[in-house]
Structure 1
Amino acid sequence: MTIPEPLTLWHELEAAVRHTLTHNELAQGGLLIAALSALAVQARTLPAQLLSSLKNRFTVTLDVQGDDAAFPWLAAWLAAQPVGRHLRHLGVVTRFNEQMGGQNLNLGVDRDGDEVNVRLVPLSGQVLLRYRGHWLLARPARTQRQAGSGMLGGFSHSLTFRMLSGARAVLPELLRDAYESTAGRSDGRVEIHVPEYQGWSLAERRPARPLGSLIYAPGLLDTLQDDLAAFFRDREWYAGMGIPYRRGYLLHGPPGNGKSSLVAALAGQFGLNVCVLNLATPDLTDDRLTSLLSGLPRRALLLLEDIDAVFVGREPRAPGVKLSFNGLLNALDGVAAGEGRVTFMTTNDLGGLDAALIRPGRADRHVHLGNAARTQVQGMLRRFWPDWTPGQVETLAAQVPDGLLSMARVQEYLLERRADPDAVARDWAQLVTPPCPTRLRLQRAG
């Protein structure tokens, strides 16, 4: 049997198809329907494709994720615009609301006389606004995070701005305006940040405490202020000398003498924020510590509280501590340690610390905050009752031996009698006389 050549088969197939389409009306109709269907599908998708092509060619998009420092600037800026109140999908935030901007609402006062504030936070939607002669389309959004093993976690937030290509030149101005209206604005408050995953979360904004309200040994505040001011002023000098641009302080002494208060007050004085880190946290590893310290918010100082509670020498105090001593040293001043960082470490027990942790370069200045001296007791009395005579103040302060009481103990004694100044002198012996242990046990039982 002779097998036809492929070319012959193709010609025969072509002739059969032509004959069918010419003489078979059913085949003609089927072909027409298929062609029309293809055209209809293309017609439906063409506008979307055309719109997408035009957007990609003639517009610019600015995307900001919720975990980026610029997100709260832009979210708060958007919420402050008149059109920002046109967004329809809102959430209510009652704590740490400065993180996400929003419309502030005052609901009144509580039983303690404190204002009750909430914010309406834009969660999704879009608004069109005019900025410096250009149209911007702003679109907040949120998506639910996966917490692992198929479990749902919290929400991730983002913010998108879309504008015509010609508006790209205003992006730096938009970011500058958003920053200066939020994080760049000095409102006399100090931001307290705490660790969250691999970054930092705003925990609280509190009024900055004036340095003049703190009572320490004479000259201590002036010395620290001058040292910090010189550090911030001499950045180029450090670079020229090849010295790492970092400064560390170790505050040590008995509890209750204002170590943390001093750090917060200095932060307010220099317009800094405070990042508080507990090194004994069970989930703090070497890698996470390095990540946290490399991602400190701008103009923030680092506060490591009670470092004596983490290591005895170079060994962890508790089996749950995952941070290694070498990991801590490398994070503080290793090759990957950031420049421009100010670190404060506090401890109640200087003797339990390894010398490598508190040497110059990691703790450049050691500041002892001891129990109340006579001059500090006098300062505390004058602060509570500025109209008292020098003789009244000196008579009471002379009865308190230097180093006997913490400043917290003196302050609490005066607070208890702030409405009855006569009781201060009348009960003064109670301040310096240790209470009876039996009485303490009875008070606790009651």
Structure 2
Amino acid sequence: MLHSAFAGLMHNDFAQGGLLLAVLGAGTAYLRHLPSSLLARLKDRFTLTLEVRGEDQAYFWLTAWLSGQPQGRNLRHLGLVTRYNEQAGGHSVCVGVDSDGDEITLRLIPLSGTIVVRYRGHWILARPSREKQTGSDQRLLGYTQTLTLRMLFPARAVLSELLSDAYAATAGAHSGKLEIHVPQYNDWIMAERRSARPLGSLVYDGDLLEELRADLQAFASDKTWYAEMGIPYRRGYLLHGPPGNGKSSLVAALAGEAGLNVCVLNLATPELSDERLSALLANLPRRSILLLEDIDAVFKGREPRSTGVRLSFNGLLNALDGVAAGEGRLTFMTTNHLGDLDPALIRPGRADRHLYLGNASTEQIAGMLHRFFPTAEGTAALTAQVNPHSLSMARVQEFLIARRGDWHSVQRDWSELCREGEVPCPTRLRLQTA
């Protein structure tokens, strides 16, 4: 059969021409793809690729560092991040000062494109990119951002130095700052970086600060003990009491002293579902405190306050201490109305310690006066005129701020402040009635 086919091919000019054309076509196609094939093999053999996802903290360090390089100015597709009182490295421009005296800084970050940078004697090809993420109904769910660095394999020796330099030039240059994170889709984004408030600047009754600080320090050092005892390594606190008495300020000050960040989550957000809450808690930035403010605004008992709430009560309980709940989490919940909360939400394991922050006591008013006027005489007489627990700490502070540096006006107007404590605020009464 093979002999007959070969003989027929030798005496058939049409078949010979077809075979020749096929061979030439295959050869041409091979030669056309040979350069790209060889290039791909060379890249795989002699280069190293580092891919950094947008949700990783290193992404922000590297993109800020990249935009600050001379070659980074050649990127044509940029994004803009606005910050107040912050110089986070990279290509930043201070455009002015707002009415509050805060510097407005704009930082340019690369979104897409390709540039080549030279780092410690090595060439690095940097390619930032982002892709849209849409749901089944074509609704935009956000963007997936990626930074790809490709370098020759010997450059791996300086990779750790590159990461260290990027960190030092951005986030590492601002140690001692408190970072506030807020949700962005299923992840977190830094909304603000500010100087941490000294814990000693807060005035509370008795030994509340010292006890809470000691409790946090004990939790941080007891990880091994929790594991040996088989107890989930989590700690929850409930801060309750009238508004204006420093619940959120206490959390921020504790976080600043411990070198932690604060992740603020509003449970009443209409887009917050059970699945999204679980994803957010699973993606909490490391070394952070989860702050759930005004949890009474979402549920009264186990019923949602409004039809717009998508989060279920059971979903909230499972996210806080269910089987899939993360280890090492510190959670602070705040409420102005303790009686509106279901006991299951604030039981031990979800809220291990309940701390009441009430209106200003005599001791707190005296401490506030001493902070504003440390050398003034007659503070004890003023303190004795105020009914204890009749004024919020915020009101006392507001009164003293308006008269800072003027002890005479404080003494002159003090009786007016005392009368406020005798008569409840009419606005608050209308709100409660409504």
From 282, 285, 306, give the equivalent of 1:297: 285
Aligned to 2:67: 79
From 370, 377, 401, give the equivalent of 2:387: 401
Specify whether residues 36 and 250 from structure 1 end up closer, same or farther in structure 2 by C-alpha distance, changes over 3 A only.
Answer: same
Aligned to 2:254: 266
Cα deviation, residue 279, structure 1: 1.4
Letter of the 1:17 partner, please give it. N
Cα deviation, residue 72, structure 1: 0.6
Of 35-44 and 339-348, the range deviating more from structure 2: 35-44
1:201 and 2:220 are equivalent in the alignment: no
Normalised by the size of structure 1, how large is the TM-score? 0.84
From 58, 64, 77, give the equivalent of 1:70: 58
From 374, 397, 407, give the equivalent of 1:421: 407
Specify whether residues 170 and 104 from structure 1 end up closer, same or farther in structure 2 by C-alpha distance, changes over 3 A only.
Answer: same
Cα deviation, residue 155, structure 1: 5.1
Cα deviation, residue 263, structure 1: 0.4
Does the CA-based 8 Å contact 1:99-1:202 persist in structure 2?
no
The separation in 2 between residues aligned to 1:248 and 1:98, in whole angstroms, is: 31
Does the CA-based 8 Å contact 1:59-1:164 persist in structure 2?
yes
1:310 and 2:305 are equivalent in the alignment: no
1:234 and 2:229 are equivalent in the alignment: no
1:139 and 2:134 are equivalent in the alignment: no
Deviation digits for residues 393-442 of structure 1 (CA, Å, limit 9, x no counterpart):
111111111110001111112222236432221121211224999998xx
The separation in 2 between residues aligned to 1:148 and 1:82, in whole angstroms, is: 42
Matches within 5 A, 1:46-57: 46-57=34-45
From 417, 426, 434, give the equivalent of 1:431: 417
The separation in 2 between residues aligned to 1:43 and 1:80, in whole angstroms, is: 42
The separation in 2 between residues aligned to 1:13 and 1:375, in whole angstroms, is: 113
Does the CA-based 8 Å contact 1:259-1:369 persist in structure 2?
yes
Does the CA-based 8 Å contact 1:332-1:362 persist in structure 2?
yes
Report how many aligned residue pairs link the two structures: 427
The separation in 1 between residues aligned to 2:424 and 2:392, in whole angstroms, is: 19
SS at match of 2:12: helix
Highest Rg: 1 or 2? 1
Aligned to 1:215: 203
Q: Which runs of 5+ in 1 are unaligned?
A: 1-5, 22-26, 441-446
SS at match of 1:64: strand
Cα deviation, residue 226, structure 1: 0.9
Cα deviation, residue 375, structure 1: 1.3
Aligned to 1:94: 82
1:288 and 2:283 are equivalent in the alignment: no
Cα deviation, residue 197, structure 1: 1.2
The separation in 1 between residues aligned to 2:15 and 2:374, in whole angstroms, is: 112
Specify whether residues 113 and 423 from structure 1 end up closer, same or farther in structure 2 by C-alpha distance, changes over 3 A only.
Answer: same
1:59 and 2:47 are equivalent in the alignment: yes
SS at match of 1:386: coil
The separation in 2 between residues aligned to 1:355 and 1:409, in whole angstroms, is: 31
The separation in 1 between residues aligned to 2:138 and 2:230, in whole angstroms, is: 51
Deviation digits for residues 349-384 of structure 1 (CA, Å, limit 9, x no counterpart):
112222222122111111110000011111111222
The separation in 2 between residues aligned to 1:173 and 1:431, in whole angstroms, is: 59
Matches within 5 A, 1:110-189: 110=98, 112-131=100-119, 134-146=122-134, 156-184=144-172, 187-189=175-177
Matches within 5 A, 1:264-413: 264-389=252-377, 392-413=378-399
Aligned to 1:14: 9
Aligned to 1:443: none
Letter of the 1:399 partner, please give it. Q
Deviation digits for residues 24-56 of structure 1 (CA, Å, limit 9, x no counterpart):
xxx7xx998887676555444322221122102
SS at match of 1:427: helix
SS at match of 1:94: strand
The separation in 1 between residues aligned to 2:340 and 2:425, in whole angstroms, is: 33
The separation in 2 between residues aligned to 1:161 and 1:131, in whole angstroms, is: 12
Does the CA-based 8 Å contact 1:75-1:100 persist in structure 2?
no
Specify whether residues 378 and 311 from structure 1 end up closer, same or farther in structure 2 by C-alpha distance, changes over 3 A only.
Answer: same
The separation in 1 between residues aligned to 2:25 and 2:170, in whole angstroms, is: 56
The separation in 2 between residues aligned to 1:326 and 1:14, in whole angstroms, is: 79
Normalised by the size of structure 2, how large is the TM-score? 0.87
Cα deviation, residue 179, structure 1: 3.9
The separation in 2 between residues aligned to 1:113 and 1:214, in whole angstroms, is: 24
Aligned to 1:247: 235
SS at match of 2:385: coil
Cα deviation, residue 264, structure 1: 0.6
Does the CA-based 8 Å contact 1:96-1:202 persist in structure 2?
no
Specify whether residues 324 and 108 from structure 1 end up closer, same or farther in structure 2 by C-alpha distance, changes over 3 A only.
Answer: closer
Cα deviation, residue 209, structure 1: 0.8
Cα deviation, residue 217, structure 1: 0.9
Cα deviation, residue 93, structure 1: 3.3
Letter of the 1:14 partner, please give it. L
SS at match of 2:35: helix
SS at match of 2:61: helix
Q: Which runs of 5+ in 2 are unaligned?
A: 428-434
SS at match of 2:334: strand
The separation in 1 between residues aligned to 2:312 and 2:274, in whole angstroms, is: 7
Letter of the 1:46 partner, please give it. L
Letter of the 2:208 partner, please give it. L
Of 324-333 and 312-321, the range deviating more from structure 2: 312-321
The separation in 2 between residues aligned to 1:37 and 1:367, in whole angstroms, is: 81
